[in-house]
């Protein structure tokens, strides 16, 4: 079976897209998968800066038609056939998706890859409105919604939990997932030192590593759900 393309979206700034991308790369590599990272946050390529050394990757601007061509060519390159593609998107990426998403949407069949979107949300309404636009622009994507535990427990996501968009997502086989909250002390360490999760798991002091282990186990449960889709 050919390897999927994961797109970590959400469009809103600061909802946790980069963190979910890093956790996903860590999960895939932990399962001995080869990963190609596509960093589309050209103004603040944080995942690229952290994972660029240990993971094959490209910086691609998805606000321009050229970027989508580049992305599709990477996905179709014979040298990447055995690799899972992981796309980290930037805030306000919806404009590029609206304009050019169809270019990717229409080539998925020829690429022989599935497009799995992890749509990261906080508890506000605009996260859901942006999701509606995204689903329309990329109708062939399988979309899972990721409630980021950083903004509160699953039960606090009342707006999403009782929404029509949730029903629409799940009707198409999408799942409603919860991403674990990581202790601030550890998250700050990982961000400021630009540590990959693997490096943090090896190098940090024992207390930080214990928290990372707890968080990682929960994140892996979530990604196991994604992998089953
Ligand atoms: N699950 C989490 N646990 C702990 N901290 C988190 C979590 N999710 C997000 N954060 C915090 O929120 C900040 C923003 O997260 P992140 O950079 O992943 O968001 P983003 O959506 O990629 O933002 P941007 O739109 O700027 O790219 C991080 O610096 C991190 O400290
Ligand atoms: Mg980011």
pLDDT tens digits, 26-47 = 999 999 999 999 999 999 999 9
Do 209 and 180 touch, CB atoms closer than 8 A? no
DSSP assigned state of 14? T
Helix ranges (H only) for the chain are 17-30, 46-51, 65-76, 94-105, 108-111, 125-137, 158-161, 164-171, 184-192, 197-203, 206-227
Q: How many domains does the chain have?
A: 1
Structural domain boundaries, residue 105: 5-227
Pocket test for ligand 1, best of 86, 150, 153 (most atoms within 8 A of CB): 150
Q: Give distance in angstroms: CA of 191 to centre of ligand 2.
A: 11
Query: Model-level pTM?
Result: 0.98
Q: Judging by DSSP bridges, how do beta strands 176-179 and 142-148 pair with one another?
A: parallel
Q: Alpha-carbon distance 152 to 162, whole Å? A: 16
Do 139 and 27 touch, CB atoms closer than 8 A? no
Protein residue whose Cα sits closest to atom 7 of ligand 1: 150
DSSP assigned state of 81? T
Protein residue whose Cα sits closest to atom 11 of ligand 1: 16
CATH number at residue 145: 3.40.50.300
The ligand minimizing its distance to the Cα of 148 is: 1
Q: Which residues of 27-42 are buried (b: 16+ CB within 10 A; e: fewer)?
A: bbbeeeeebbbbbbbe
- What are the pLDDT digits (tens) for 81-125? 999 999 999 998 889 999 999 999 999 999 999 999 999 999 999
- What are the pLDDT digits (tens) for 177-221? 999 999 999 999 999 999 999 999 999 999 999 999 999 999 999
- Pocket of ligand 1, beta carbon within 6 A: 10, 13-19, 41, 90-91, 148-150, 179, 181-182, 187, 191
Residue 229 predicted with pLDDT over 90: no
Q: Alpha-carbon distance 140 to 124, whole Å? A: 26
């Amino acid at each position: 079976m050919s390897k999927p393309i994961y797109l970590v979206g959400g469009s809103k700034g600061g909802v946790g897209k980069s963190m979910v991308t890093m956790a996903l790369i860590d999960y895939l590599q932990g399962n001995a998968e080869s990963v190609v990272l596509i960093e589309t946050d050209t103004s603040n390529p944080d995942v690229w800066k952290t994972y660029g050394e240990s993971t094959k990757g490209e910086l691609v601007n998805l606000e321009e038609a050229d970027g989508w061509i580049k992305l599709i060519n990477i996905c179709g390159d014979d040298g990447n056939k055995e690799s899972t593609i992981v796309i980290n998107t930037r805030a306000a990426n919806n404009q590029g998706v609206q304009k050019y998403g169809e270019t990717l949407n229409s080539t998925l069949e020829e690429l022989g890859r599935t497009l799995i979107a992890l749509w990261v949300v906080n508890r506000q309404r605009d996260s859901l409105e942006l999701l509606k636009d995204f689903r329309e622009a990329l109708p062939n994507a399988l979309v899972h919604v990721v409630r980021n535990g950083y903004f509160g427990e699953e039960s606090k996501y009342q707006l999403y939990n009782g929404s029509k968009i949730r029903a629409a997502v799940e009707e198409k086989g999408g799942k409603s997932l919860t991403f674990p909250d990581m202790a601030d002390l550890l998250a700050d360490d990982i961000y400021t030192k630009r540590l990959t999760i693997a490096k943090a798991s090896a190098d940090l002091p024992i207390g930080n590593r214990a928290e990372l282990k707890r968080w990682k186990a929960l994140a892996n449960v979530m990604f196991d759900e994604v992998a089953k889709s």
